[in-house]
């Protein structure tokens, strides 16, 4: 028995590393400001990067879940790593890794399209990893440790997301380009693929449970409550990506912070998200999820409103409040919805992951508004998303 438990503890290590790689898909947020400056893009064109990445969540989530039920979680996990790895190789072999700022206008344009293709594949890989990573953690965890391991995995995923903010300024400090991200990500994914491929996983299956299908998932959208909550996930992810991509641009254009705007964005936005997730786990042992959802959404709305004042200190405070507010919205909406219809948990899970496609559609709207007005006015788009989530929380509390 002790040997089995020891083996399970070892088995979780490559899965935790897979969660780290899962976070690489979130690089599209900080990459918006990097691409905007490097390729001299409008705000709208720059936000096509998150569009290409998050579009894959809407296309692949449910089909890969169905495929996973037939072929197994480990196989799907390896497929996700392979897709992401190929995406990272594209810019490296296309001459993207290097001093791209010295390229001609035509070369810059072609390399931007390479980046779009790279992000498309990286987003596809992250989607497949999301579908397989969460359930396979249960298979490799010691009994009673699944929830804690999953929470730890989400925190490690946040570290992977943070690399997109932390590495580019470091690269500039040592005289290199921000495209250093691609070979570093590729090496980490290659290590994860090799380690995971040797892993022996005994997958847990329940014969009495009917597998989710495309029809069973989509039929749930006829339920107005489910549709409302799925749309809440859609606009939330869109609002988070809009904030993570817009904050570095805001710090640069409104407050004149250059070079280290990504580090400051991480400290003000993603660090509070990371802290907020740990605090949320403790708070939820004391109060009901629906009440906590009200608190977090109102905090995020207040934070966005503070951004609009144009004052540096007030804006910094607002960004921190938005990060703390955003930290637990996704798991709260997810758990509240599943608790409403626990017998349809598989289908709801597929719909919720698919709704992450909101990260593809909301940021371009923000970019378009910012081009017509200013980056400050662009933040009214995520503000509208948060107001919708607050409205959904009110309806959910009554039901």
Whole-structure pTM value: 0.76
What is the C-alpha to C-alpha distance for residues 77 and 135, in angstroms, rounded to an integer?
11
Nearest to 340 by CA among 206, 227, 234: 227
Quote the pLDDT of residue 103. Answer: 61
Quick check: 306 and 172 in contact, CB under 8 A?
Answer: no
* Alpha-carbon torsion, ordered 185, 189, 191, 197, to 10 deg: 180
Nearest to 119 by CA among 46, 28, 30: 28
Q: Which residue segments constitute the domains of the chain, with CATH numbers given?
A: 1-200 (1.20.1250.20), 212-399 (1.20.1250.20)
What is the C-alpha to C-alpha distance for residues 114 and 95, in angstroms, rounded to an integer?
10
Per-residue tens of pLDDT for the chain, all 399 residues: 444 445 555 678 899 899 899 988 877 767 777 777 777 788 888 878 888 888 888 899 888 887 887 788 899 999 999 999 999 998 888 766 555 445 667 777 777 888 888 888 998 999 899 888 877 887 887 776 665 676 677 778 888 888 877 787 777 777 777 777 888 899 999 999 999 999 887 776 655 556 667 887 888 899 999 999 999 999 999 999 899 888 988 888 888 776 566 778 888 988 898 888 778 777 877 888 899 899 999 999 999 999 888 788 999 999 999 999 998 888 888 878 877 887 776 678 778 888 999 988 999 999 999 999 999 999 999 999 999 999 999 999 887
Q: For the residues of 231-266, what is the DSSP string, one character each?
A: HHHHHHHHHHHHHHHHHHHHHHHTT---SSHHHHHI
Burial of 1 (0-12, 13-18, 19+ CB in 10 A): exposed
Helix intervals (H) in the chain: 2-22, 28-39, 43-46, 48-71, 73-93, 105-140, 146-173, 181-197, 214-219, 224-253, 261-265, 271-283, 289-307, 312-326, 329-340, 345-354, 358-372, 375-378, 380-398
Q: What is the CA radius of gyration of the chain?
A: 21
Nearest to 214 by CA among 342, 66, 72, 60: 66
């Amino acid at each position: 028995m002790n040997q089995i438990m020891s083996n399970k503890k070892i088995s979780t290590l490559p899965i935790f590393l897979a969660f780290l790689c899962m976070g690489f898909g979130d690089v599209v947020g900080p990459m918006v400001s990097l691409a905007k400056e490097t390729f001299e893009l409008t705000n709208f064109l720059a936000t096509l990067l998150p569009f290409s990445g998050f579009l894959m969540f809407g296309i692949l989530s449910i089909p890969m879940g169905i495929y996973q039920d037939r072929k197994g979680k480990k196989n799907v996990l390896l497929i996700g790593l392979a897709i992401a790895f190929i995406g990272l190789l594209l810019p490296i072999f296309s001459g993207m890794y290097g001093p791209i700022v010295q390229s001609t206008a035509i070369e810059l344009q072609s390399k931007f399209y390479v980046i779009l293709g790279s992000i498309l594949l990286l987003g596809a890989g992250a989607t497949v990893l999301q579908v397989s990573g969460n359930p396979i953690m249960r298979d490799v965890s010691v009994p009673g440790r699944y929830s804690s391991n999953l929470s730890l995995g989400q925190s490690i995923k946040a570290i992977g997301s943070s690399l997109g903010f932390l590495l580019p300024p470091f690269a500039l400090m040592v005289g290199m380009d921000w495209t250093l991200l691609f070979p570093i990500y590729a090496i980490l994914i290659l290590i994860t693929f090799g380690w995971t491929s040797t892993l022996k996983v005994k997958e847990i299956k329940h014969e009495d449970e009917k597998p989710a299908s495309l029809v069973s998932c989509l039929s749930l959208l006829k339920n107005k409550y489910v549709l409302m909550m799925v749309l809440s996930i859609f606009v939330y992810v869109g609002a988070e990506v809009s904030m993570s991509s817009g904050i570095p641009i805001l710090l640069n254009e409104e407050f004149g912070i250059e070079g280290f705007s990504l580090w400051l964005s991480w400290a003000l936005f993603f660090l509070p998200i990371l802290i907020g997730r740990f605090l949320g786990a403790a708070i939820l042992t004391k109060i009901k999820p629906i009440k906590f959802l009200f608190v977090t959404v109102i905090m995020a709305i207040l934070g966005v409103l503070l951004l609009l004042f144009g004052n540096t200190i007030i804006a910094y405070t607002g960004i921190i409040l938005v990060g703390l507010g955003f930290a637990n919205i996704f798991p709260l909406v997810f758990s509240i919805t599943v608790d409403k219809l626990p017998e349809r948990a598989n289908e709801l899970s597929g719909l919720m992951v698919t709704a992450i496609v909101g990260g593809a559609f909301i940021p371009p709207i923000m970019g378009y508004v910012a081009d017509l007005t200013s980056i400050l006015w662009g933040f009214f788009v995520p503000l509208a998303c948060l107001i919708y989530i607050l409205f959904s929380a009110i309806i959910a509390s009554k039901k």
